[in-house]
Structure 1
Amino acid sequence: MMDYRVIKEGDLFFLTGLNGDMAPGDDQGHGLYTKDTRFLSRMEAFIDGERPSLLSSAGDKSYIASFRLMKDSKDEGAIELHRERFIYGGILYERCTLTNYFIDARNVEFSVAFDADFQDMFLVRKYRTGDVGRMEEASAKDRELTLSYMGADSQRRKTRISWDAEGGKAHGSGTITFPMFLKPKEQRVVTFFIAPITEEHAEPEPLSYDEGLRKLEASYAQWYANSTRVKSDSAVFSGLFERGLQDLRMLTLDVGFGDTTVAGLPWFAVPFGRDSLITALFMLPVNPQLAKGTLKTLASNQGEKTDPWRDEQPGKIMHEIRYGELVTTGQSPFSPYYGTIDSTPLFLALIGEYYRWTGDLSLAGELKPNMLRALDYINAALEAGNGFMAYKQEAEKGFPNQGWKDSANSIIHEHGEYAESPIALSEVQGYVYQAKKSLVPVFADMGEHELARKLEEEAEELRARFEAAFWMEDQQCYAIALDKEQRQVRSVTSNPGHLLMSGLPEAGRAAAQSKRMLKDDMFSGYGIRTMSTGSTGYYPMSYHNGSVWPHDNGMILLGLGKQGFKEEAGKVISGLLKASEHFEYQRLPELFCGNDAGLGYPVPYPTTCSPQAWAAGTSIAFLQAMLGLYPDAPKKEIALSPFLPEGMNELKAERIAIGNGHLSVSVTRDAGGASFNVKVLENTTGYTLVG
């Protein structure tokens, strides 16, 4: 069970303890956040001056949280407080219902203490220090309290707290009190409306609690209606899939270019490069429009110049963007920050995969200048890296390692020394190969035949170089990386598993790589570890050197499915499904520890993000791998080669958007259990099914 409750809608999210409170000095980062700024740092409920005891706390719906608390006495009875909250239209709605369960009438004082420090997210996390602004005097009027701050960037930020109940009084301390007289079983309701306000946006006007909730729930219903519907006889898979789809709706954000996803809550509620791209890749079988919004969002922030402060280079796709005071005053390089080696090839690979799924050439036409600049950046990086795409930290406050395993100790030689940069990661070369290969039909269908031919040629040249440099014959798998001397970093890790998705490895080595990842030193029983138990640096509680990351397994699964390694794919799916049963609301976290499944439960990682976008999308990777579903719009074909993992006998996927139509299929295990029956329920794509 997570030790917090978090809800999010749009670019506003609210993080509290399990009792619904935020207490001053709790050091947990609790707060109401938007634009990487904490607009509420305290919200504590009291009954007669005392904090009520927690009875229950629920967050099973991603968009609403509820809390039941009570203040009891030695008498037979209690005052119950039921708190319910959601976010809609830039406003936090909180409904507080007090019920008298004593046998006699009671005078009760209900109060809520508020405060706001308007701290930058990086300061809250103690990730940075910096010069900041100052608080201004709070102002109060009838049913409204406003807290205000003037930033070091000369921007005024406010938090408006209003309420609908009569009799409430705001005090200079930030506490709002409501004296009540409650008869036995009588209820009183107080609803708060809390709105962050910046100079950039008009002040939002609240709806009623019920109307706001109705509109929010309608938006979720529309999300489900626009997504593929999935049913199975496995309650575990069905539950995980529904949880993932709900969480992905929660994590969507539109900054002006269509829906994309933030990376995760609570600390990464902003658009990312790598995270948002991989999530969109996972989402293709369920909602390909997310890829469109993600690509446009990232294209709008493509690198334009050489700027070591932000690790920016022309054509480069960003790592992440932040909006807080430290960024707006130039004290942090995240405006955006470009220190990632894989976002640019993944950007191009997603364009290619989006075209394979949709046949929509118009998006590629719109993004053609961005694609060409990204290719120029990649080609320059390949030339600088002696034929491989490598990274080296330039920004003083940036990241030393710039692949998805971006912790400082994640790239380690077999004798214990850390690899020195420039570092060429194995999976990144695969992404480059996939980007170039997948863009061949895109450019060919745009009439750019010479460029298409050149990309095909360059991809095959990269394949030959890679096979010669990265293969470890003794381990029967690829090395994680080459260091600055182009020596192999001979750790056995999960990174090369991503190569299967790219299609780079030759057939024999692809088969060997898939088998190597399922050996006991790599497969915990709950998933593929990030590092072998036999490699130097392995530690099951580490962030990147022995833990299990669901999205990492998801990327590997896409490749296992594509290459037809069904036995290995089934084993990975079964392990992660088994793990999911142990997490609250069956929500796969960002990562968990790599201890062996013989313990009987997965060991949680202490500071993991949950919900987290690419973890939420992993169950969709399960779906694609199980269906063996790989459309090819340029060829007007759909590869379909299903299997079902152990414990699942029926699977139905309805209205999968492919091309200009839909595909619906059902898969059942035959009576003998060794083969599968496939029934096409609908195919309005006009494409031929193969496989």
Structure 2
Amino acid sequence: MDIAPSGAPPLDNDGFPVAATASLQEGRSTTLKHDDTFALFGHAGDLGGSPEGLYHRDTRYLSHFSLWLNGARPMLLSAALQDDNAALTCDLTNPDLPAGAGLNAVPHDLLHLRRSRFLWNGAIHERLALRNFDDRPHRLRLELRFAADFADLFEARGARRERRGTLHPPLLEQDRVTLSYTGLDRERRRTTLRFDPAPALLEAGRAVYEITLPPGGRQALFIEVGCDREPAPCPARKAFGLALRQGRWAQRRHDARLASLDSSNDIFNETMRRAAADLAMLVTQTPEGPYPYAGIPWYSTAFGRDALISAWHTLWYDPSLARGVLRFLAAHQATEADPATDAEPGKILHETRQGEMARLGEVPFRRYYGSVDSTPLFVMLAGAYLDRTGDLETLRGLRPNIEAALGWIDRHGDMDGDGFVEYRRKRPDGLLNQGWKDSHDAIFHADGRMAEGPIALVELQAYVYGAWRAAARIFRRMGDPLPAEGLDRRANALRLAFDERFWDEALGTYVLALDGRKQPCRVRSSNAGHALFAGIALPERAERLVHTLLEPDFFSGWGIRTIAAGQSRYNPMSYHNGSVWPHDNALIAEGLARYGFRRQAGKIFSALFDASTYVELRRLPELFCGFPRRRGQGPTLYPVACAPQAWAASTPFAMLGACLGLGFEPGTRCIHFDQPVLPRFLDAVTLRDLQLGDGRLDITFRRAGDEVAMHVLRRSGGLQALLRSG
């Protein structure tokens, strides 16, 4: 997603618009999600302005839902999302309600309305509780207005369609109404609203209740809004309770298998609880296992790169997520060439969509392979998962996919045979840039000219190096040393060639990319930090590169900018050319830790933590603007950043693991901590139920002067904890 220059329509994927007429920050929307369904509510719990709505499989099944009391909108008292993201509660009261139409006048603040709602199995379940705090009775007319436009997600983002399908007349029954639409893809989509008790009046777009509340009286109404599903055979109030219990049981099962942490900083504890809850909400259960969808509202679907990085970030915390990601992407790996989807044998998925426009080919993302880095990242994660768990059985099942991915790098990745992997889109309306910075203007030369392809990105070469090293480790563990030796030789050769072509002494960093003529894009970018993350950087380059990345033109005070200030296309309000992305900073911090610069990694961690303290719900967004930090002020938020976003939610886990030097040796049943440091905002941190195999470990770290002391609280299953000092 990208915002185009002034005067041009906002662009995403080089031709698919994202509405930038209003900031997501202004609406203060609240998000709920379960599997393939999510909802974006206004702060009072209503749905109305775009992009609000109930979405299911990339279609908006409910575009309007509002509450009225005697013809007036209730006033919001407060709205609260549960700490585990499971439910939204909105407390409201009445404004001054005049008499009329058989209704008596009601002074303000005498009626309390509480809306409690959650998502479960493709449906909103809501309880609306009313209470009269007056000393006299009140006769009320409560009205729920609703509509479903069945807009494709890309339409909700701003795309314009010349033709649409058919909206059908509503089907009305005593306690329910069904709204339906048949798309141009011939798929019939249905929204069923069910009310308990049945309203006094039910029409195509509203349900009306006539309610008399005695002094101190109460009444509860239940509403269920289902997407393409038959309502439960029991009344809506019983369905509410049943779904609520099922959701709680599922949450408890999820929490029981995860590590947890506590620290000396209560605000950090809140940040980590929210990050864990956001990850749990974004995870969708697939036949291959749990898979984190990328972000809400625009990216609530399976993305390859995002899930691979999110799983990498949380590998120490929840290795089952990496297993689910690897298995899902293996199941969707390309097996043949298809220019219409940028597919080639062995290539790993970029994105998949389930909506009408994708099914019709109006957008190319039904199953799209336009990311050049997902394939080497897939192999890197497979190696890291084996290092973390020792799970050879899963890796043996994935070996054909790993070999196919390596084959894609060899046969399709290096287009011109120069030893570097490049990209160029296959269809005119596909992604122009296919690294993680996929805006149309993200890859450019020092004078601002756009780079022409095929383009060899700096981080892509680093990932290929990391993939070859990971595959070598995997094959050795499988007792197959011959291919491992060949991969190690190739990785060593790539490292030297990479240094020769990409290092720029005058810039003090690696160049952003090589263009189609092999000319370097001499731009100071955060991409270079990924060379530290993947290990391709020569040790003698590390200190200079770290110094460059932490200079004021890069480091804003809130994190490292995507592009350093002073570069030709630098704009702190852009999507990729000067903003700060938490996940990008986390990968760089992991690279700093890899090369022994753990205290510098702690500086980045502290900056991102400070940013989270200024953000609603302590939730790190997808990105924020790259303006310099000012005393007493928080970061400048990006107008249409997704929140929650999986690789932003996973960032604190990656940062903590990097600072603690956390690593695993399944063969010796040892968890080790290499030269751990604690960032300045933490005096102590405790990890509980840290798992390796069937063993568990509880361990505390405390600052002791400039050092960190470790104390094992509990261990089982023969686990050992090892502190490695410098």
TM range (shorter): over 0.9
Instruction: Name 2:598's counterpart in structure 1.
Output: 566
Q: Quick one: which of 516, 529, 534 aligns to 2:566?
A: 534
Deviation at 1:310, TM superposition (A): 1.0
1:41 to 2:74 alignment: no
Question: What is the aligned-residue identity percentage?
Answer: 36
Contact 1:309 1:396 in 2 (8 A): no
SS at match of 2:577: coil
* Residues 312, 685 of structure 1: alpha-carbon distance in 2 compared, 3 angstrom cutoff: farther
- Structure 1 distance, partners of 2:30, 2:719, is 46
Instruction: Name 1:54's counterpart in structure 2.
Output: 76
- Structure 2 distance, partners of 1:130, 1:524, is 44
Paired AA for residue 297 in structure 1: F
1:248-647 equivalent positions in 2, closer than 5 A: 248-385=279-416, 386-599=418-631, 600-633=633-666, 638-641=671-674, 642-647=676-681
Deviation at 1:166, TM superposition (A): 4.2
Contact 2:599 2:659 in 1 (8 A): no
- Structure 1 distance, partners of 2:540, 2:220, is 68
1:658 to 2:680 alignment: no
Deviation at 1:260, TM superposition (A): 0.7
- Structure 1 distance, partners of 2:130, 2:649, is 36
SS at match of 1:297: helix
Q: Quick one: which of 663, 668, 680 aligns to 2:702?
A: 668
* Residues 545, 60 of structure 1: alpha-carbon distance in 2 compared, 3 angstrom cutoff: farther
Paired AA for residue 30 in structure 1: E
- Structure 1 distance, partners of 2:666, 2:495, is 25
SS at match of 2:712: strand
SS at match of 1:254: strand
* Residues 528, 387 of structure 1: alpha-carbon distance in 2 compared, 3 angstrom cutoff: same
- Deviations along 1:311-341, whole A, 9 cap, x unmatched? 1111111111000111222332212111101
- Structure 1 distance, partners of 2:358, 2:450, is 31
1:192 to 2:226 alignment: no
1:217 to 2:240 alignment: no
SS at match of 1:393: coil
- Structure 2 distance, partners of 1:401, 1:634, is 41
* Residues 685, 288 of structure 1: alpha-carbon distance in 2 compared, 3 angstrom cutoff: farther
Contact 1:252 1:260 in 2 (8 A): yes
Paired AA for residue 7 in structure 1: L
Most deviating of 439-448 and 292-301: 439-448
- Structure 2 distance, partners of 1:635, 1:420, is 50
SS at match of 1:339: coil
Paired AA for residue 531 in structure 1: I
- Structure 2 distance, partners of 1:470, 1:418, is 18
SS at match of 1:523: coil
Instruction: Name 2:14's counterpart in structure 1.
Output: none
- Structure 2 distance, partners of 1:49, 1:515, is 63
Q: Quick one: which of 261, 266, 269 aligns to 1:230?
A: 261
* Residues 614, 387 of structure 1: alpha-carbon distance in 2 compared, 3 angstrom cutoff: same
- Deviations along 1:85-119, whole A, 9 cap, x unmatched? 10112221011112223332111011111111112
- Deviations along 1:657-686, whole A, 9 cap, x unmatched? 23453343221111xx21111223426465
SS at match of 2:368: coil
SS at match of 2:169: strand
Query: Structure 2 length as normaliser, TM-score?
Result: 0.91
Instruction: Name 1:92's counterpart in structure 2.
Output: 124
Deviation at 1:290, TM superposition (A): 0.4
Deviation at 1:76, TM superposition (A): 5.8
Most deviating of 675-684 and 140-149: 675-684
Paired AA for residue 72 in structure 1: P
* Residues 331, 518 of structure 1: alpha-carbon distance in 2 compared, 3 angstrom cutoff: same
- Structure 1 distance, partners of 2:86, 2:143, is 25
Contact 2:166 2:181 in 1 (8 A): yes
Contact 1:659 1:685 in 2 (8 A): no
- Structure 1 distance, partners of 2:611, 2:222, is 39
Mark the runs of 5 or more structure 1 residues left unpaired by the alignment: none
Contact 1:252 1:262 in 2 (8 A): yes
CA-based RMSD: 1.9
* Residues 168, 469 of structure 1: alpha-carbon distance in 2 compared, 3 angstrom cutoff: farther
- Structure 2 distance, partners of 1:35, 1:270, is 8
Deviation at 1:635, TM superposition (A): 7.5
SS at match of 1:552: helix
1:103-252 equivalent positions in 2, closer than 5 A: 103-127=135-159, 129=161, 131-172=163-204, 174-197=205-228, 207-252=238-283
Most deviating of 50-59 and 144-153: 50-59
Q: Quick one: which of 29, 36, 45 aligns to 1:20?
A: 45
- Structure 2 distance, partners of 1:439, 1:523, is 34
Contact 2:196 2:223 in 1 (8 A): yes
- Structure 1 distance, partners of 2:706, 2:244, is 48
Paired AA for residue 34 in structure 2: E
* Residues 104, 637 of structure 1: alpha-carbon distance in 2 compared, 3 angstrom cutoff: closer
Query: Structure 1 length as normaliser, TM-score?
Result: 0.95
- Deviations along 1:425-466, whole A, 9 cap, x unmatched? 111111111111012121122232221111111111111111
Deviation at 1:585, TM superposition (A): 0.9
Contact 2:614 2:635 in 1 (8 A): yes
Q: Give the length in aligned residue pairs.
A: 682
Paired AA for residue 364 in structure 1: L
- Deviations along 1:264-317, whole A, 9 cap, x unmatched? 011111111000110011111111000111111111111122111111111111
Contact 1:130 1:331 in 2 (8 A): no
Q: Quick one: which of 73, 88, 97 aligns to 2:96?
A: 73
Deviation at 1:636, TM superposition (A): 6.3
Contact 1:248 1:261 in 2 (8 A): yes
- Structure 1 distance, partners of 2:671, 2:270, is 27
Paired AA for residue 658 in structure 1: L
Contact 1:195 1:204 in 2 (8 A): no
- Deviations along 1:560-619, whole A, 9 cap, x unmatched? 222221221111011111111000010000001111112521001000000111000011
- Structure 2 distance, partners of 1:621, 1:351, is 17
- Structure 2 distance, partners of 1:203, 1:308, is 42
* Residues 415, 683 of structure 1: alpha-carbon distance in 2 compared, 3 angstrom cutoff: farther
Contact 1:658 1:685 in 2 (8 A): no
SS at match of 1:157: strand
Paired AA for residue 259 in structure 2: T
